[in-house]
A and B are shown apart, each in its own frame.
Chain A
Amino acid sequence: MEQNEFITTVRRGAVLVVGAFLFGIAANYFNPGGYRFLSPEAISESRIVEIGVDEAKIKFDHSSALFIDTRDGDDYFDARIEGAINVPGFPESLSEKTIKEQFRIISRPLEAVLYCDEGCDSAAVIGRRLLEMGYPRKVYILQGGFGAWAKKKHPLEKSPDAGGR
């Protein structure tokens, strides 16, 4: 009898806790002052911010950002934003490998500004991947990509033998 009473108490106690959890979530849904939950995808998207060339240049001048070139290795070799590192967006296997190798550098207390070519999506792909891997800050995407930066004649870096390629 005592044991039955104990089991009933435990069972009802569990019902109370689970019920409170469900009611709490439901009440929060209708509460304008409550929590707003986002899906993991939406959280990632909210931490990927597009910026223009001028804003990127300010970050560049203040040395507050690490520029990440997500174009393929050949384009990066030809010309890149001064100081940028290369994390190619494609193929995926190379991209994964490079992110893992460079993650410690990328995670330094600097903002990450990613760029590719105009209209490409490799910068956004790499940005999402960085956030998935636990990159703690916002990821900035350079609007207009490398072309927009070069057009403004902002500092570029070329490999010594790039001209002969």
Chain B
Amino acid sequence: MREGDEGMDIVRGIKGFLAGNFFLSAIRMLLGLMFLYSGFFKVLDPVSFGRVISAYGLLPGPMVPYAALTVSMLEMVLGVLLLTGTWIRPAAAVSILLMLAFSAAISINLIRGNEFDCGCFELSRFGINERISIWLVLRDLAMAAGFLIVHNARRHPISLESFIEKRRLREL
């Protein structure tokens, strides 16, 4: 009987998480912070990020600067939106696409037999060289799954969206 209750608690916990609870909000904010941090350094030094994009060998040369400028600013914008809880669904949807694109880019280069610094999260600034590997693909896919959960959640207790909605309902 007691074991059954515990099992039900776990199921309820998972359901609550998937529907959107404080824990999911914390994860969303953490993902937002990660994007904000990563994008900030890329916006400051887009040329270095452009060199990383070039190393992947997937875009024609003239497109690289535009991709570097767009992706770096996109990460910043997504970071702010996810952190504050604004436009959560579109921000999560774009984040999923971004993570899938990163995974595909790494996978293609692994198949090509290339090996170079992945340029993830600007870790090379701190002397940490994270080279492309299957683990990075899995990490990006795991993050895409995290964004999918955020995208599908119906509630976001800690968010600007929720705060504005509550105020609106109070004023009715």
Contacts and interface: CB of A to CB of B under 8 A. Distances in A.
Interface of A: 5, 8-13, 15-17, 19-21, 23-25, 27-28, 31, 33-35, 37
A24 B73 contact: yes
Contacts, number: 72
A20 B74 contact: yes
B13 interface: no
17 contacts: A5-B89, A12-B90, A13-B94, A15-B90, A16-B81, A16-B90, A16-B94, A20-B74, A20-B76, A20-B77, A21-B73, A24-B73, A27-B43, A27-B73, A28-B46, A33-B44, A33-B45
A163 B150 CA distance: 86
A20 to B, nearest CB: 4
Contacts of B65: 35, 37
A3 to B, nearest CB: 14
A17 B72 CA distance: 11
Nearest to A16: B94
B83 to A, nearest CB: 15
A25 B69 contact: yes
Contact of A31 (B46, B78, B90): B46
B70 interface: yes
Contact of B93 (A13, A24, A27, A28): A13
